[in-house]
Amino acid sequence: MVIERKWKKWVFFYIPLTVFVIGTLFPFYWMLITSIRPDAELYRSWRAANNTPFWTLNPTLEHFRDLMAKTTFPIWLWNTFFIAVISTGISLFCGLLAGYALARLRFPMAGTLGTSIFVTYLVPPTLLFIPLADIIRNFQLGNTPWALILTYPTFLIPFCTWLLMGYFKTIPKELEECARIDGATRFGAMVRIIFPIAVPGILSAGIFAFTLSWNEFIYALVFLFSPERKTVPVGVVSELIRGDIYFWGQLMAGALLGSVPVALVYSFFVEYYVTGLTGSIKG
């Protein structure tokens, strides 16, 4: 092993790492500290003598209570979960079949099709919501969960397809050929051999799709308008900022509760998720 000077390790490793960790985690800390700070401290002048912006001595759960009782936050949470799960399910199903076909089947224009599916993912939602709004109105889906469940796959399916296609390509095709010789049909080989091996890839596609739809803002803002129909990201921002009044405590409590499920999903699958990204299967 090469012996390096200690200061080099500090300059190139520990100090940048510390800066990065603080920069990443500070917003979460700020979110937490704000959500448990009593109103009296929250709206105190920054220059007040007893101002303690980075900690509080009187933690309170008042904001969480208010959020649950006085707003429709629990309903937003349920809306978001419901919409995210169903649109993820639809997108994974389509992405699996499309990704497999693009990775394995030989048909005319397969390459072009693969690329054009990816290109649709690059169209920004801020442009796409205009034609989509027209469609939603024509089908009279506005202000229903289906407005989002059916529009989220427009970016989730290309995403899942592309990710899974890449994963399927890393699986040696001999595995499947062997299964087909062993007595399986093409579909049987796909379901019995390829899908079980691709579980890490499928899980990472699912997690990504879930978080993308959980955090989605623009479509949710445009297609839903009654307070009890909204999702967490839109509800928190539109219902807890009234005019120029910011309900900081409840806002942060809502943001915290909104990000907890995502954090749980991530940490639960983190091992699969990591192998899914680096994904490699040896025969």
Binding site for another protein (CB under 8 A): 172, 174-175, 177-185, 188, 193, 196-197, 281-283
| Least distance CB 268 / another protein (angstroms) | 21
| Least distance CB 283 / another protein (angstroms) | 5
Which one, 134 or 177, has the nearer CB to another protein?
A: 177
Phi and psi, residue 75, nearest 5°: -70, -40
Which one, 174 or 244, has the nearer CB to another protein?
A: 174
**Taking Cα atoms as reference points, which of 213, 212, 258 lies closest to residue 235?**
258
| Least distance CB 78 / another protein (angstroms) | 36
| Least distance CB 192 / another protein (angstroms) | 8
CB neighbourhood size of 240 (10 A)? 22
Determine the Cα–Cα distance for residues 156 and 164; give it in Å rounded to an integer.
12
Contact criterion met (CB below 8 Å) for 224 and 147: yes
The single residue listed with the structure tokens 């290309």 is: 158
| Least distance CB 280 / another protein (angstroms) | 11
Which one, 24 or 280, has the nearer CB to another protein?
A: 280
Query: Could you give the C-alpha distances from 94 to 2, 42, 133, 134, in angstroms and in order?
Result: 51, 48, 23, 24
Which one, 90 or 193, has the nearer CB to another protein?
A: 193
Contact criterion met (CB below 8 Å) for 210 and 263: no
Which one, 171 or 232, has the nearer CB to another protein?
A: 171
- Strand boundaries in the chain, DSSP class E: 241-242, 245-246
